[in-house]
Structure 1
């Protein structure tokens, strides 16, 4: 299991390739990469804050729960913090499993729980000012399927 919370950008290809080298028993590798999206053409940046130590521990707990629910060979979560511009990669999830169903479901589970339970605070900075991003009902609703 690999958990990284970092300010610096990551190379999607390098990370995916390194993760894929993990084990010969894995028949499926699923990756998801989140990108900072523009908000109606007016986003200047997304500012992400976290508490070091607490954030990694919470993400590790979410990843460990995924490992207990699905037969996984490996899990990786990379999440950035700091000031990110539209189009920059904000996070990556990767799961490896003997079979694709476990890899896909675990990746979706991780995304749903990271979105609503990982302790990050996000502020959208536009040309008109800045506003903290509030929790969304649809993100909470997504957890009910698990």
Structure 2
């Protein structure tokens, strides 16, 4: 019998992007979580029997207020939280519609050009996802 500590916590999220309404340049959405006082990409845990991509898009909408069109899969990140392994699957996703409303989980979002987004992100593993998005063929 395996214990819970051996099974990774599964989560999914997106590197959410759009074209700037000002100059048409690429902007990436970052979320601020007051519980951790960090800046990250929108992500969250999978619900029971939920597909990873469905979870990623649900979490984007819950955390940012934006619906998104999924694009290419990006890397998975692996790290430990409270002594348990966590695995987060990511996709590139273009924001299609919506508006942000602060909530208990996310109190702020920022739309930033890629260089500024890399600088603002708290975790180095999240910075690598920006580089992956930029390396994709035409977005």
TM range (shorter): under 0.3
Q: What TM-score do the two structures reach when normalised by structure 1?
A: 0.23
Q: Which one has the bigger strand percentage?
A: 2
Q: Which has the larger radius of gyration?
A: 1
Q: Which one has the bigger helix percentage?
A: 1
